[in-house]
Structures are given as C-alpha cells and as structure tokens.
Structure 1
C-alpha cells in the first residue's frame, strides 16, 4: 500500500503573535526569540524523521521555523498557495473592542456557511484561500516518490486546509485548534485517495519550554 505521511506545522511565535497584532499574508514577519526556541525544540524532537522534502509558504516565518531541517540538506520548496489568509485592511493592527466584535461576527458567519465573506475589506475569503491551497497541494501530492514530508504553514490557513484534506465542509474549519508550532500529522493512502488525521494540535515537543 502506497502512503505518504504529512507533518503539518504552524510557524513559531512572532512579535505580532505575542502582541495580538493581525498578521495575515501581507505581513512578512520574523520569529521572535521564543519562536526560534520553539523551532529548535521541534527540530530536536523530530530530527530523526527522514523527511524527503520540506514545503513552506512564501513568508519568512515558516522558513525560519524549519531552517534547522533545511540546514541538514533536505530539499525544500515554497508555495504562495500555502500563505496565510489575507486580512486586508486589518493587517498590522491591534484589534480594539469593536474590531474584536467584528472578528467574532466574521467567524460566526464562516461557521454558518458564509465562507464567501472576506476576512476584512481588501482581504481574502476562505473559499479563495482553499482554492489556492488545492492547487498547491495537488502539486505536492503528485510527488509520489516522497514518502514523508514536512509542511510549515499558518494558523487560519491550516484550519482551512484540513477541511479540504479531510473532506469536511469549509464551515467546520474552527473545529481545528492551533497554537504556535503545533503539529498535525496526516496519512494519505494513494489507493483510495484518502487522508487520515493521526495527530492533532500536538505540542508535546514544547513541554520543556512550557515548564520553564
């Protein structure tokens, strides 16, 4: 049986994450000190895995998260289709009370199936995001010689992607939780074209950091 294992991670913490600033695809931020510590902890926990290839978004924070693996000589490729959702005019801003209310309204609309509503004026809709993700992942999955891959992405983008891979309605995206440098592990069976979720929002590799 021909299968592929996908290690899907969210990038490490950035200062925008720490301060509650909206990032999205329009903010190309770097990891902060904790983010680099998280990246190192993940590397130490999973460096024994023989990854055939690494895939990231086009944003620096995902590349920095897996740089330790790249330094081992593992091939890697970037796809713009794996970028975070665009939050339009909200990017770079710290939400105030009214914006928080607006955010909750947007999430409620998406959960009610209104996934054609953009994240913010000038931003993307979940339907636009999943369309570009499908294109990127089709290219990734055609590489049938790659048995085990590492994919570094973003929080909302991961939620959207998981609904697609697991054949769930896009409105179910918020059933998937995430935190900085969490791991989702999936298996793909080429014989029936099905993804199986084996591990969800795992942060056990960060346990020593959390204890400190």
Structure 2
C-alpha cells in the first residue's frame, strides 16, 4: 500500500531566537546569518533526496529555510495552517520576570491538560490543531507525492507531533526541537498511522559548531 515520507524541519535561527524574544505567528522575522548557514548545511546534506514537493508556513522564515531547494525548481505550497502558535500579547517581547511567570503558568496549565487555554490575545494548542488538520489533510490528499519536505515552527511542531502520534497535547513538551532540526515521519495510507523514524536530528549542523 502507498506510503508517504515526510521530512519535517523547524526553520533556521532568527535574531529573535538568539535574543530569546517571543515570535509566534505575529512576528514575521528573517533568518539571521546563522539561520542561513543552517539552511545551507541542511541543503548540502539532503539535496540528493528526491522530494516531490515542499510545504511551508505563511511566515518568511520557513521560505528562507528551504529556499536552496526551491531554487532547484522544486514546487512548493504555502499553508498557513502550519504557522507558529499565536502567542498574543507575548509576541515581540523579551521575557522579563512578569512574562516568565505568565509563560511558566501557561506551560504548566497545558501540561496539566488545560490545552484549551489560549494565550492572552492568541491561540490555544487545541485551536492550533484545528488549523493544522486542514494543512495535513491537504498534504495527505496527494499520495502521489511520496516524499515531501515540510518547514514549520517549534511550538507548532510539538503540537503537530502529539496529535499525529495520538498522544495527548499535554505531552507536547516531550518533543524536543532546535533550529533546523529534522523529524522524519512515515505515513501508511492503509492504516492511517504515522511513525516517527528520526527525532530532533541535527547531525547535518555539526559543521557549524564553530559559528555558535
């Protein structure tokens, strides 16, 4: 039966990442020098993989992350359902003491199962799932695309990996991620099951250690 392989990556580093500033879906920041180097390192490691298509979020940092592949002529599609969670009032702010307390309380609420709790002015994990399901249905509706590359965002990836593997959203923080990490997934159309084959893999970034 048909299978689909998904190379799921988080975008490369931005200055906001480096400075610890909350981005979310409301901050459309560019990759910084390190982020572009990470993108090129990933491209050099995986340019031989015969991807049928690339899917990105609506935010520029995901486009820039896969730009070397797009320049090869690979088709790509933008799906806003893959966007990062909206952090609401926290976006664009460096966490101070008050923000840290707010963030900590929010994460603890999610871990206790209150995943319907939204950020102030933003989204809840359950709301993110609803739009992600539309995006994933779009990707799965093309079984002829046996090998795809999907670029998205950290918190959104954690949420996605939970529900794809039938775990409660309260366990999302079990899925670790770093900038330009790779999760490799397979999907079996016969059983409608996802399997994680690689987790938070960054072997392709080893050459960049001296840039840190």
| Cα drift, residue 99 of structure 1 | 1.1
Give the paired residue count.
Answer: 211
Is 1:99 aligned to 2:128, yes or no?
no
Separation in 2 of the partners of 1:211 and 1:191? 45
Separation in 1 of the partners of 2:202 and 2:85? 23
| Cα drift, residue 177 of structure 1 | 0.3
TM-score by length of 2: 0.98
Separation in 2 of the partners of 1:90 and 1:112? 21
Match of 1:123 in 2: 122
| Cα drift, residue 83 of structure 1 | 0.3
**Structure 2 counterparts to residues 108-147 of structure 1, below 5 A:** 108-119=108-119, 121-147=120-146
Structure 1 alignment gaps of length 5 or more: none
| Cα drift, residue 211 of structure 1 | 4.4
Match of 2:151 in 1: 152
TM-score by length of 1: 0.98
Give CA deviations for 1:142-182 in whole Å, capped at 9, x if unaligned: 10100000000000000000011111111111100000000
3-state SS of 2:62 partner = helix
3-state SS of 1:9 partner = strand
Match of 2:17 in 1: 17
Separation in 1 of the partners of 2:175 and 2:84? 16
Structure 2 alignment gaps of length 5 or more: none
Separation in 1 of the partners of 2:143 and 2:32? 35
Match of 1:77 in 2: 77
